[in-house]
Structure 1
Amino acid sequence: MFPSAISPAYAGDQPTLICFSHLRWDFVYQRPQHLMSRYAKEFNVQYVEEPIYTDEADSWLEVRHVAEGIQVLVPQLGIDAKAHPEQEQRRLLDQHLGLGTGSNIILWYYTPMSLTFSEHLHARLVVYDCMDELSAFRGAPPRLVELERRLMERADIVFTGGHSLYEAKRLLHGNAHAFPSSVDVAHFARARGQLPDPIDQADIPRLRLGFYGVLDERLDIVLIDELAALRPDWHLVLVGPVVKIDSDSLPRGPNIHYLGAKTYDELPHYLAGWDVALMPFALNEATRFISPTKTPEYLAGGRAVVSTLISDVVRSYGGSSMVSIARTAHDFTDAIQQALQKAGDRTNLLHEADLILDGMSWDRTWHQMRRLME
C-alpha cells in the first residue's frame, strides 16, 4: 500500500494523488471523473486543470471542492505570467501543495503537456492514463509528441483507453495495460424504464436516432447530412457541446436537432426517448485509436447501436447483434431498419445487452488498476 503523502494543504492521513488533465472536471463526465471519484475513497485527489488566462496583473490558483476527497485546481494566470506560464503554474502548484523534497505522492497524467510544470515533483508512482491519442486531435501543441516521449520514460505504468491505443503504446513502454472505457450500468439502465422526456426533446417527432458526446472533428458531418436527407421522416438528435469546429459547418435540416451540452445525470432521460443510438464518427486520425465510452452506455440503456467502422468498436462489439457496423449513409439506413426490428423483441434485446455488459463496470476497472499499481 502507499504511505501517506506530506501535504500540509490537506487534513488527514490519506495519501495524495495529483491528476493532471486536459479535460475540465465540469465539461463532460467521462473516464477521469469516473476513476478519480473512486480513487478519492483512499486518496486526497488533486485534479489539476489547464490554466485560464486573465487580464489581471497577478496570478492565483482557484481551488474548488467538487466531491468528497476531490479538489479541482485551476491556475488563473495574469498578464505578468504570459511570458513564462509554465514557471508560474509550477510556483502556484508548489505553493498550494506545500510538498517538500522526497514527499510521497502519486502523479497521474492524462496530458503530457503538464509535464512542463510538474516534472520536478518527486513521486512514489507515476501513472500515464493515455485515454486518447491527443497528438492526432485538431489544435494539438507541436511539443506534445516530445513531451509524451519524456512522460513515457518517467512513467512507472501506462494505461490505455482501448486496445488499438494499447497496441501502439506497448511498443513504447514495457509496463502498458489496456483498459477500454467502461460503464456505470445502473446509471444508464434507467433509460430502459419510463423516464420523463426532456422539454427540449419532447416535441421532436418519432422516429428518433440519437447521439450524445462532444461535437468536434471526430463527427462525420457529411454522413449526418446524407442520412437526414435520405430519411426526412427520421429525426436525428445530437446532444453535446460543439468544440474546435465552427457550429455553422454542422448540417442543418428540419429533422436534425442540436440540443447542446447536458449533464451526466440528464443523459439517461435523452437516451430513453431514442429508438436507436448512433455513433457517426468520421474515419480520420482523431478517431483511429478511440474506444467510445458511449457504446456500453447505449447498450446499458437498452438501445441498439449503429456505428461507423471504428476499430475498437468492431473488435469489442462487432460480433454482437446489438451493434451494427455501417460505412455509408445507405448502409446506416439499412442497419437502423434492422435495429428497429430487433427493438420490437424487447426482452431478447435487453438480454443480449446484459450478456455483453456482464462484469463490465468502472469499479472493476478501478480495482484492476489498483492491483497493477501496487
Structure 2
Amino acid sequence: MSRAAREFRTWYVEEPEYFEGPPVLRIERDESGVSVVTPMLPRGQDVDTAAQLKSMLTRLVAKVEPKRLIAWYYTPMALRFTDDLNPHRCVYDNMDELSTFVGAPPGILEMERQLLSRCDVVYVGGHSLYQAKRNRHENVHVFPSSVDAAHFRQARTILEDPADQAAIPHPRLGFFGVIDERMNLELVRRIAALRPQWHLVMIGPTAKIDPASLPRADNIHWLGCKDYRELPHYLAGWDIGFMPFAINEATRFISPTKTPEFLAAGVPVVSTPIRDVEQPYGAQGLVEIADDANAVIARVEMILRRKRAPWIKRVDAFIEGMSWDETWAGMRRQLDAFIPDRKMPVRQMNAEARRV
C-alpha cells in the first residue's frame, strides 16, 4: 500500500477498537503516505457493529467519485459492512486460506464465494494458493511475497545487538512472525532439548494459542513483539533463520514472506517442508528443508560448516527481482488491463487496503 500511496490517496482500514465515547473514525497518515483508518466504537453497548462500520465507511468515501474508487480486500468478511459501496475496481488480495485457520469466522467460505463473484481481479500470495483458486475466478494472478531488500540487508552490516538479545549465547536460531497454530511447538521443544548449547530466539505475538503452551527452557527466548524497523538489528545477530511451521491445514497454502526477508538479511534458513518454500527456495539450494528434529539438526550443522560466499551470491541473484516496487507495478498492470465484458452485480467493497 505504500507503493499505491505514491499514486493514489490510500486508506488502510483496520479492525475496530472499542473505547468510552461515540463512534468515530481515527485516521492517521503514516510516513509512507498511507492513511490508517481505525473505527472507534463504543465499548459495552448492544449495537449492530456491521451497521455502524457501514455507516462510517460510507461517509468516509462519500466525496470520492465512483470512477476513482478502488476497493482492495484482504478478507471477504468485510462484505458484511461494505455492501453500499460501488467502486470502479475491486481487488481480492488473497494471502492465505483464511477458512483453515483456528477461529475462522462462520460463513467465511460463503462470503468468499460472493466476493469472488463480484471482484474484477484476484491476486494470490503463492503458487499453492493459485492452484486452489485458479478455477474459481477468470482473472487470477500469482504474486509471491516480495521483499524490502534494502531494509533487511542492513542486517549484514549491523554489529551491535539489541539489549534483550545481547546476552544470548551463539549459535542462535531465530524466528520472527506470529506464533500461533501454524508453529510446530513440539519441534521447537525437541531442538532445544537435543542441542542445549544452541539458543532459539523467538520474536512475535502469540495468537489463538495459550501462551502457557509455549515450550520453556533455558535456551528458548521468547522476546515478544518488535517493530518492523527493529528486525534487521535482531537478524544481524542470528546464525540461522528457523521456520518451524507445522504441516497442517493452516499451512497448506502459505507462502511465508519471511523467507526472502531472511535471505536479504544474509541469514541462512532451515524450514519445515512448506510447499511454497520447497519450490523455489529449497529446489534452488537457497533454503534447507527438514521434516523432523534430527533433520533440522543435520541441516543446521551443515550450514554452520559451509562456506558462506557461494550461497550468498546465489541468494543475491535470486532476490534481485523481488522488490515491492516490481510487485506493485505488476499488480497495477493487471488492474489497468481489466476491461468489463459483462454486467456485474452491485459490488460490495471496503475502502482500499493491502498488506504492509
- TM-score normalised to structure 2 length: 0.91
Equivalence for 2:10: 45
Cα-Cα RMSD: 1.5
Shift, 1:193, TM fit: 1.6
The DSSP-based 3-state class of the residue aligned with 2:36 is strand
Instruction: Report if aligned partners of 1:53, 1:77 keep a CA contact under 8 Å in 2.
Output: yes
Shift, 1:278, TM fit: 0.6
Instruction: Report if aligned partners of 1:81, 1:88 keep a CA contact under 8 Å in 2.
Output: no
Equivalence for 1:348: 310
Matched to 2:330, the amino acid is Q
Residues 208-287 of structure 1 correspond to what in structure 2 (within 5 A)? 208-287=172-251
Rounded Cα–Cα distance in structure 1 between residues aligned with 2:64 and 2:280: 45
Rounded Cα–Cα distance in structure 1 between residues aligned with 2:65 and 2:50: 20
Residues 100-179 of structure 1 correspond to what in structure 2 (within 5 A)? 102=66, 104-179=68-143
Rounded Cα–Cα distance in structure 2 between residues aligned with 1:83 and 1:358: 50
Instruction: Report if aligned partners of 2:180, 2:209 keep a CA contact under 8 Å in 1.
Output: yes
Unaligned runs of 5+ in 2: 337-356
Matched to 1:231, the amino acid is R
Rounded Cα–Cα distance in structure 2 between residues aligned with 1:358 and 1:104: 33
Equivalence for 1:359: 321
Equivalence for 1:314: 278
Instruction: Report if aligned partners of 1:226, 1:329 keep a CA contact under 8 Å in 2.
Output: yes
**Which deviations, in whole Å up to 9, do the C-alpha atoms of 1:45-79 show, x marking residues without a partner?**
011111123354x3222221223532111112225
Rounded Cα–Cα distance in structure 2 between residues aligned with 1:103 and 1:315: 40
The DSSP-based 3-state class of the residue aligned with 1:200 is coil
Rounded Cα–Cα distance in structure 1 between residues aligned with 2:245 and 2:46: 37
Equivalence for 1:86: 50
The DSSP-based 3-state class of the residue aligned with 1:72 is strand
Equivalence for 2:19: 54
Unaligned runs of 5+ in 1: 1-35
Instruction: Report if aligned partners of 2:269, 2:287 keep a CA contact under 8 Å in 1.
Output: yes
Instruction: Report if aligned partners of 1:59, 1:81 keep a CA contact under 8 Å in 2.
Output: no
Shift, 1:301, TM fit: 1.1
Instruction: Report if aligned partners of 1:276, 1:305 keep a CA contact under 8 Å in 2.
Output: yes
The DSSP-based 3-state class of the residue aligned with 1:63 is strand
Equivalence for 1:17: none
Instruction: Report if aligned partners of 1:239, 1:259 keep a CA contact under 8 Å in 2.
Output: yes
Equivalence for 1:13: none
Shift, 1:340, TM fit: 1.1
Rounded Cα–Cα distance in structure 1 between residues aligned with 2:98 and 2:286: 30
The DSSP-based 3-state class of the residue aligned with 2:6 is coil
Rounded Cα–Cα distance in structure 2 between residues aligned with 1:133 and 1:179: 15
Count, aligned residues: 336
Instruction: Report if aligned partners of 2:58, 2:84 keep a CA contact under 8 Å in 1.
Output: no
Shift, 1:285, TM fit: 1.0
Residues 23-38 of structure 1 correspond to what in structure 2 (within 5 A)? 36-38=1-3
Rounded Cα–Cα distance in structure 2 between residues aligned with 1:195 and 1:175: 47
Shift, 1:140, TM fit: 0.9
Shift, 1:100, TM fit: 7.2
Deviating more after overlay: 95-104 vs 277-286: 95-104
Rounded Cα–Cα distance in structure 1 between residues aligned with 2:32 and 2:193: 48
**Which deviations, in whole Å up to 9, do the C-alpha atoms of 1:267-325 show, x marking residues without a partner?**
11111101111100001111110000111111111111100010100111112333111
Matched to 1:309, the amino acid is P
The DSSP-based 3-state class of the residue aligned with 1:314 is helix
Rounded Cα–Cα distance in structure 1 between residues aligned with 2:51 and 2:297: 54
Instruction: Report if aligned partners of 1:101, 1:122 keep a CA contact under 8 Å in 2.
Output: no
In the alignment, is residue 76 of structure 1 matched against residue 77 of structure 2? Answer: no
Rounded Cα–Cα distance in structure 1 between residues aligned with 2:296 and 2:310: 22
Instruction: Report if aligned partners of 2:125, 2:143 keep a CA contact under 8 Å in 1.
Output: yes
Instruction: Report if aligned partners of 1:213, 1:240 keep a CA contact under 8 Å in 2.
Output: yes
Q: Could you say if the C-alpha distance between residues 255 and 100 of structure 1 is closer, same or farther in structure 2, counting changes exceeding 3 Å?
A: closer
Instruction: Report if aligned partners of 1:277, 1:298 keep a CA contact under 8 Å in 2.
Output: yes
The DSSP-based 3-state class of the residue aligned with 2:77 is helix
Q: Could you say if the C-alpha distance between residues 82 and 75 of structure 1 is closer, same or farther in structure 2, counting changes exceeding 3 Å?
A: farther
Shift, 1:195, TM fit: 2.9
Bigger relative contact order, structure 1 or 2 (CA pairs below 8 A, ≥6 apart)? 2
